[in-house]
Structure 1
Amino acid sequence: MSGGGRVPVYELMGVREVAGGLLLVPPGVAGRAADGLRLRLAARELGPGRWEAVARDPSDVLVARRRPADGGPPVLVKCPRTGEAVRSLVRERDAVAVLAAQLRPPGLRGLLPRTLDSRLGGRPPVLVQEVLPGVPGDVLLSRRPELAAALTASAFGVLDELRGAAGGSSRDARLVDGWLGHRLAVLSDRVRWCRGAEGTAGLLALRAFLRRELTGHPVEVAWTHGDFTPGNLLLRSPDPAGRSAGQPAGRPFVTGLVDWADALADGPAVVDRASFALALGRLLEGRSWGEQVVRALRTGGLHRPETGELPLSGVLLAWLWHVSANLEKSRRSARNRHWLRAVLVPVLRELAAPPARPGPATRPD
């Protein structure tokens, strides 16, 4: 689409590699009048250029890779479809700007998606970002699952670098109600089942357990990504010699970290590691987040060989971040019965049911 032509549709793997982990728009969807109009209006706003690929993420955002007419490097153009999607992109843009300003080693800023143009208050709203290099971690693992441990080590190393460069971390339990209140309210507001007897009991048990655990023990507080999963991590795999850009032999190295809409400057640090562990279970073993969290509730924690032991409170926080973010970014999640039955409902049912083991539903607040 050069100002007004047809939008090309690329095969899934190619789009995910060039658009940072986004999902392909099926041809029938890409051709719909509304999306075509958004892209035409965006092209008129941004000036001459050529659309190279079109993708969409789960947050009601239409994304295109576009090459300017002057021959400059390609850019990502994000066109939100809904008010929720606009707010999500505003949060992402602002979080990246604040974090980049705090990072002392300039090299780490290159991992963040730099904003080139922001017109999120316009008609249509548009956000333009640079294209970061690398392959999404979930794509890399689908090809080379044996890299899971090395990929995790690289990912956690970047987490530690970012936190250290942004001023380190602290321990503060006073933030707990702020972490929980809004996210629990999103579940109750968006999902009717959560307002019934069983759902309400599960939410109350979840809140009671997390408040008790997080206020009764030291909590590491730091910059958190909020959706730290392999799909939001861009990497280059090791070269045939087993070494890449000075990295340890056989280890992929991180070239970018995208989707910062759920980031917090003072979030619970364990969320990112637990999110990564749950996402690995989904990618490598096909087990849903709900199935893994229910198992963690019954065993008292989550253990993966790549990530080690993770406490139950961290697993439940990561699950709460995941489900509330999905519900807040797109109302389609609340209508997705398969997702609700696989991810949300089993966890709250487990929390609401009186267990035979000592657990969150049996202890007073």
Structure 2
Amino acid sequence: MSTGSRVPVYELMGVREVAGGLLLVPPGAAGRAADELRLRLAAQELGRGRWEAVAQGFSDVLVARRRPADGGPPVLVKCPRTGEAVRALVRERDAVTVLASQLHSSGLRELLPQTVDSRLGARPPVLVQEVLPGVPGDVLLSRRPELAAAAAASAFRVLDELRGETGGSSRDGRLVDGWLGHRLAVLSDRVRWCRSAEGTAGLLALRAFLRRELTGRPVEVAWTHGDFVPGNLLFRDPADDDPLAAAGPSDDGPADDGPAVTGVVDWADAMADGPAVVDRATFALALGWLLDGRSWGEQVVTALRTGALHRPETGELPPSGALLAWLWHVSGNLEKSRRFARNRRWLREVLVPVLRELAARPAPSG
């Protein structure tokens, strides 16, 4: 999950990359004992095996890479720390199961993290998933930002294929109300400022703007990921390829030496009939933060003022798409962890500027 702050986690915390795309984070003193206990209890629950890496990250989920004692392939063990995190993992598990059952393309199904074992109702709750190959997109692009356009093209090909299998068009205003209602309620419930006069005015203006832009006209709907940031995509790093294989065109056609998508993870915010533009706009906003250090709030305010969200790697997207992606992002973060509501910098840079901009805009005439 992306936080919208400027410094990537692996630079901020001195994290080192390990095989399979995990980030090995030295445990902080505050949570070390509790996390070690979680891992010990999970090990007792799952049986003998060897822990190979532990990733703490920003969410309330402890993620470990574990190799079973029988020599089988490694797996990811996800240990939620809070009730919100348990519910997020339940949503992720169920969304992947339902989506996989609806896909005809085996290529798309191979990008999904399949569940190996689910014990989310146990104590401790645990979700075990297969390890997908590849390097997280934020890691890859921080090392090689020149690959951003090629990575975006690969990511959008996945979205096009997903839209082709699950997409359609809708004019149903009730669908729009369903997209907005719960997410706006999360902001109002979790963030005290959103219940102030200014915050309430911003939420009302946000709802009015999006209903005006999205109702009464065809809106493309499809299975949406909901947090389609580079860090939730795994890529094949072209630097790892056989140099002879990527040297140039072959008899079968031009060589594909770009960073192809090898996996898409963290489906907790997925929706079967979501607005298709959300994932494209989310990827564009995440690139703006990752490559340029521009917060999500700054980018969305700019899109509102200029009439478009534009990046050279992703093209031009409407401000309604930027607002939907922002709403998915902030509500998803707040729903997964209450820590965001206490993070003053995140509120100041990501959430508050957008609602203030909307509240200050004159109401449309007529």
- 1:341 aligns with 348
Deviation (angstroms), 1:252: 1.0
Relative to 1, partners in 2 of residues 1:322 and 1:31: Cα closer, same or farther, differing over 3 Å? Answer: closer
Letter in 1 for 2:227: D
Match of 1:203 in 2: 203
Conservation of the 8 A alpha-carbon contact between 1:226 and 1:262: yes
Are 1:136 and 1:232, in contact at CA under 8 Å, matched by a contact in 2?
A: yes
Seen in structure 2, the aligned counterparts of structure 1 residues 173 and 248 have a Cα distance that, compared at 3 Å, is farther
Quote the offset at 1:194 in angstroms. Answer: 0.5
Partner of 1:12: 15
Measured in 1, the distance between the counterparts of 2:324 and 2:205 equals 13
Deviation at 1:297, TM superposition (A): 1.1
Match of 1:327 in 2: 334
Who is 2:9 aligned against? Answer: none
Deviations 1:285-330 (A, max 9, x none): 0100011011111111111111111001000000000000000000
Unaligned 5+ segments in structure 1 are 1-9, 355-360
Which moved further from structure 2: 279-288 or 31-40?
31-40
> Could you say what secondary structure the match of 1:202 adopts?
helix
Is 1:292–2:299 an aligned residue pair?
yes
Query: Separation in 2 of the partners of 1:329 and 1:340?
Result: 16
Using a 3 Å threshold, how does the CA distance of structure 1 residues 149 and 194 change in structure 2: closer, same or farther? same
Q: Which SS does the other structure have where 2:72 is aligned?
A: coil
Relative to structure 1, is the Cα distance of residues 283 and 248 closer, same or farther in structure 2, using a 3 angstrom cutoff?
Answer: farther
Query: Structure 2 counterpart of 1:12, which letter?
Result: V
The alpha carbon displacement at 1:137 in A equals 0.7
Match of 1:358 in 2: none
1:52–1:24 distance in 2 versus 1, CA, 3 Å: closer
Distance 1:88 1:80 in 2: 9
Check the 8 A contact 1:225/1:272 in 2, yes or no.
yes
Partner of 1:168: 167
Matched with 1:270 is 277
- What SS does structure 2 have at the residue aligned with 1:266? strand
Structure 1: how far apart are the matches of 2:142 and 2:224?
A: 26
Normalising by structure 1, we get a TM-score of 0.90
Task: Extract unaligned runs of 5+ from structure 2.
Answer: 1-12
Cα deviation, residue 183, structure 1: 0.2
Query: In the alignment, what sits opposite 1:256?
Result: 263
Provide the residue aligned with 1:5 in structure 2. Answer: none
2:7 is matched with none
TM-score scaled to structure 2, two decimals?
0.90
Equivalent pair of 1:290/1:342 in contact (CA under 8 Å)? yes
CA deviation digits over 1:245-267, x for unaligned, max 9? 98854421111000000000000
Secondary structure of the residue aligned to 1:348 is helix
Q: Which has the higher contact order (CA 8 A, sep 6+)?
A: 2
8 Å contact kept, 1:148–1:306: yes
Q: Partner of 2:98 in structure 1?
A: 98
The 1:296–1:242 alpha-carbon spacing in structure 2 relative to 1, beyond 3 Å, is: farther
Distance 1:327 1:364 in 2: 34
Distance 1:42 1:307, change over 3 A: same
The question of whether the paired residues in 1 share the 8 Å contact of 2:150 and 2:259 is answered with yes
In the TM superposition, what is the alpha-carbon distance from 1:353 to its structure 2 partner?
Answer: 1.2
Given that 2:149 and 2:313 are in contact with CA atoms closer than 8 Å, whether structure 1 keeps it comes out as: yes
Show CA shifts across 1:167-188 (max 9, x none).
Answer: 4323243300000000001000
Partner of residue 7, structure 1 = none
2:331 is aligned with what amino acid?
Answer: S
SS of corresponding position for 2:194: helix
Could you list the runs of 4 or more consecutive aligned residues of structure 1 that deviate by over 6 angstroms after TM superposition?
243-247
Aligned to 2:10: none
Sequence identity (%): 80
